[in-house]
Structure 1
Amino acid sequence: MDQSTQNPMPPAVRQGYMPRTRLAVSLLFLMNGFVTGSWAPKIPEFKERLGIGESVLGLLILVFGIGSLVLMPIAGGFIARMGSQRVVKVTAVILSPLLLVLTLAPNVWTAVPAMFLLGGFVGAMDVAMNANAVEVEKSMRRAIMSSCHAYWSLGGLIGSASGGVIMAYLGVLTHAVFITIICLIVLAIAWPMIQADQPHPDAAREKLRLPMTPLPWIIGIIALFSMVPEGTVLDWGALYLRNELGASVALSGFGFAAFSATMAIMRFAGDHVRDRFGAVRTLRVCTLTALVGLVMAGLAPNAIIAIIGFALAGVGISNMVPIAFSAAGNMPGLAPGIGLSVATTMGYSGMLFAPSLIGFVAEHTGFAIIFTAVPVLFIVVLLFSRHAVHADQSGGGH
């Protein structure tokens, strides 16, 4: 019998819906999303304050991405040696004041290391909190990864929605101090409840190196090909609706809003779906839904149909990444931090770097072709989807 069709998480041994450890890891995701979301409304002020153009700003945002990609694998190595609890605490403490540090940066040369550290510790904390979520899944014997990512989306929404208002009424520096205080309060609440975990038994003897087996890289490709379309909608959806489908400025913002809303809602529901049907079947249905949604957006005759397509794509993409991350943290014979650092690094590199390449291609082809062609990546996800069975191992050991 195919492993993917079995109910992977026996209900008899499950804990309650929200034990302290689950609340703690949910708060960590909320905090990380809040910092990331709070950065978005600061970008115009940051650009103006430093007196830089779009190209220099683009390079600084690239530095943010490079910081993430450098520190993510390092965090994975430390998690393997020390456990995720210690690493997530350290990275969260360092991350808390970094938007304030960036706000105080007087020129481009000080902004470069501040951007590198901000991107680096957002990424490092990301690996650590995902590894901790895997440990909580194992202890609870039920899927929680999708709802953790929903809390991240919620944090991003709160940060981006409140940032502009706070800066307009209270000023830029007050906003940065406010973010730091909120982060430290959230961290103080979560701190005593964070799931304790042991280092991987072989990690102390191993040198920090990338895994040589193909499975982590296959899961990494699933994460990468799930996140490239997400980044494409995030960065280029509004421009496509405005320039190619004639949407108003107000309407063009609804593309990503519809995508985000369906994604957040489905992430809160995703764990129950995965518990019921198993990771492989859930991933396949999600991937097909996302494929249909993006093709619908790319072929849309008007903005309304495209927005419905983006909303459908959000339903599909919502649980693809959490399933990939659960699978990465549960690979047999591999420390969770190592597998997760591969999946998160590959996934986020797709979200950080692919949209700029897509923007260059779209200058010559238009975005309609891009949104119709990007779903080809989902076919690769479908081909590799049977490997998502490892996500179900969080329910009952290997």
Structure 2
Amino acid sequence: MSENTEPEPTPDLNKTISRERIRIAVALFYFCQGLAFASWASRIPDIKSALNLSDAQLGTLLFALPLGQLLTMPLSGRLVTQYGSRGVLRIAAPLYALVLTFLALASTGWQLGLVLLAFGVVGNMCNIAVNTQGVAAEQLYGRSIMTSFHGAWSIAGFMGALIGLLLINLHIGTYLHFWIILIFVVINTVINEKFLVSHVVTEQRKTSFFTKPDGVLVQLGIIGFCSMATEGAMFDWSGVYFKDIVQAPSSMVVVGYASFMIMMAAGRFIGDWAIRRIGRRTLLQVSGCLIFVGMGIAVFFPTVVTASLGFMLVGLGVACVVPSVYSAAGRNSKISPGVALAMVSSVSYLGFLIGPPLIGYIAELASLRYSYAVIGLFGLMITTLISLTQVVKNGN
């Protein structure tokens, strides 16, 4: 594929808009994306029952969502570079919520699979655009604020689950539920899109998504892969681990997952402060160690208390890795932020695809404890890569 001449986006701060207002607007777009995804997740059991899907059928159909995200990575980077993250986000954000409503209309498995594919496609466009906005807002501040944006996404996950639980108990159907989310997202877009960071062309540089990948971006992608594989393992298998290995009572099975999620959200809100105190490089080294130690505690001491403590450490460990990796990628001097983020996301997101199945295969051959031990090694790999390379430095 021939190279294309592309502009370098740089933040253009309207003097009438404060940095704080821009930050709030960007955070709300992160929140809306997390809310839409969590709303879908909260209704998966209802949709499964409505379509009479088996566990195997549902598992196969759910693969369509990450597949759509992965396939769209190159296109998303190009769109953000050509039209600007603000231009893409103000269209993609409400479109993401609109596609959400179509999930409730699926009447067969293949229809659900097609809509999930579209949900993944539009979701990836939102992801690249909103993270490009995060990088631009961070440049306006001149210091790290990226982890707080991802914290807003995590808080939205809690809110989405709570809203879903409330509406289910009120016997409000899935379709109406998703329309409520759509209306909220549209209102947010109308009110806040004008406060997003706009971009101006300052210079031209040649980039192509399909040229030889930049070595720094590949290394950042591998670090992101290790973190997202860990997150995927915790999302999909922490409940099973507590039930089968920890042998927790039914009422306590969710404690492991909750411990992880709470500490991941908390870690993201203190992450920017930690970066300013000890530096991004040091924080990522510590993060990898926390994942390794936390998994080790859960593997060697599988009781409710100790495993919960271990999962809390893992949550703190993964909290700042992906936001820091995205921030570093967006600052790459050779490639435009949209394309750089798409490249790093492509490698990182493979962790979500490979991590959970890897857990299952190892568990089938040996034990789920061995599976989590292997995931713990990903934390050690993060620390090692950060220590042996200069892909991330101790700056803000």
Q: TM-score, normalised by structure 1?
A: 0.90
**2:282–2:394 contact (8 Å) kept in structure 1:** no
Shift of the alpha carbon at 1:207? 4.8
Provide the rounded CA distance (Å) in 2 between the counterparts of 1:111 and 1:363.
Answer: 29
Matched, 1:351 2:389: no
Equivalences for residues 2-21 of structure 1 within 5 A: 19-21=20-22
Provide the rounded CA distance (Å) in 2 between the counterparts of 1:206 and 1:278.
Answer: 30
**1:330–1:391 contact (8 Å) kept in structure 2:** no
Q: Which residue is 2:196 aligned to?
A: 194
Task: Find 2:178's aligned residue among 176, 179, 204.
Answer: 176
Provide the rounded CA distance (Å) in 2 between the counterparts of 1:316 and 1:198.
Answer: 36
Q: Structure 1 residues 199, 243: closer, same or farther in 2, change over 3 A? A: farther
Shift of the alpha carbon at 1:175? 0.8
Equivalences for residues 323-342 of structure 1 within 5 A: 323-342=324-343
Equivalences for residues 115-134 of structure 1 within 5 A: 115-134=116-135
Q: Structure 1 residues 199, 90: closer, same or farther in 2, change over 3 A? A: farther
Q: TM-score, normalised by structure 2?
A: 0.90
Matched, 1:300 2:301: yes
Q: Which residue is 1:225 aligned to?
A: 226
**1:146–1:322 contact (8 Å) kept in structure 2:** yes
Secondary structure, counterpart of 1:389 in structure 2: coil
Provide the rounded CA distance (Å) in 1 between the counterparts of 2:126 and 2:212.
Answer: 21
Higher strand share: 2
**1:326–1:390 contact (8 Å) kept in structure 2:** no
Task: Find 2:187's aligned residue among 185, 188, 191.
Answer: 185
Q: Which residue is 2:8 aligned to?
A: none
Shift of the alpha carbon at 1:158? 0.6
Equivalences for residues 21-36 of structure 1 within 5 A: 21-36=22-37
User: Larger deviation: 348-357 or 138-147?
Assistant: 348-357
**2:207–2:335 contact (8 Å) kept in structure 1:** no
Q: Structure 1 residues 243, 18: closer, same or farther in 2, change over 3 A? A: farther
Secondary structure, counterpart of 2:390 in structure 1: helix
Provide the rounded CA distance (Å) in 2 between the counterparts of 1:81 and 1:211.
Answer: 21
Equivalences for residues 351-370 of structure 1 within 5 A: 351-370=352-371
Shift of the alpha carbon at 1:257? 0.3
**1:330–1:390 contact (8 Å) kept in structure 2:** no
Matched, 1:389 2:389: no
Which AA in structure 2 matches 1:375?
G
**2:278–2:394 contact (8 Å) kept in structure 1:** no
Q: Which residue is 1:3 aligned to?
A: none
User: Larger deviation: 268-277 or 209-218?
Assistant: 209-218
Q: Structure 1 residues 200, 295: closer, same or farther in 2, change over 3 A? A: farther
User: Larger deviation: 264-273 or 369-378?
Assistant: 369-378
Q: Deviations over 1:213-250 (max 9, x none)?
A: 21111100010001111111111111111111210112
Which AA in structure 2 matches 1:47?
K
Q: Which residue is 1:98 aligned to?
A: 99
Which AA in structure 2 matches 1:166?
L
Shift of the alpha carbon at 1:193? 0.5
Q: Deviations over 1:188-218 (max 9, x none)?
A: 2321111112368446x65553553211111
User: Larger deviation: 135-144 or 80-89?
Assistant: 80-89
Provide the rounded CA distance (Å) in 1 between the counterparts of 2:390 and 2:169.
Answer: 48
Shift of the alpha carbon at 1:279? 1.0
Shift of the alpha carbon at 1:37? 0.8
Q: Structure 1 residues 133, 390: closer, same or farther in 2, change over 3 A? A: farther
**1:82–1:199 contact (8 Å) kept in structure 2:** no
Q: Deviations over 1:32-61 (max 9, x none)?
A: 110111111211111111222112211111
Q: Which residue is 1:313 aligned to?
A: 314
Q: Which residue is 1:4 aligned to?
A: none
Provide the rounded CA distance (Å) in 2 between the counterparts of 1:18 and 1:155.
Answer: 22
Shift of the alpha carbon at 1:379? 2.5
Which AA in structure 2 matches 1:85?
R
Matched, 1:215 2:212: no
**2:94–2:182 contact (8 Å) kept in structure 1:** no
Shift of the alpha carbon at 1:285? 1.3
Q: Deviations over 1:340-398 (max 9, x none)?
A: 11222222221233202321221221211111221212232223214343684xx6xxx
Secondary structure, counterpart of 2:104 in structure 1: helix
- State the identity as a percent: 28
Secondary structure, counterpart of 1:209 in structure 2: coil
Secondary structure, counterpart of 2:349 in structure 1: helix
Shift of the alpha carbon at 1:92? 0.9
Equivalences for residues 251-330 of structure 1 within 5 A: 251-330=252-331
Q: Structure 1 residues 51, 228: closer, same or farther in 2, change over 3 A? A: same
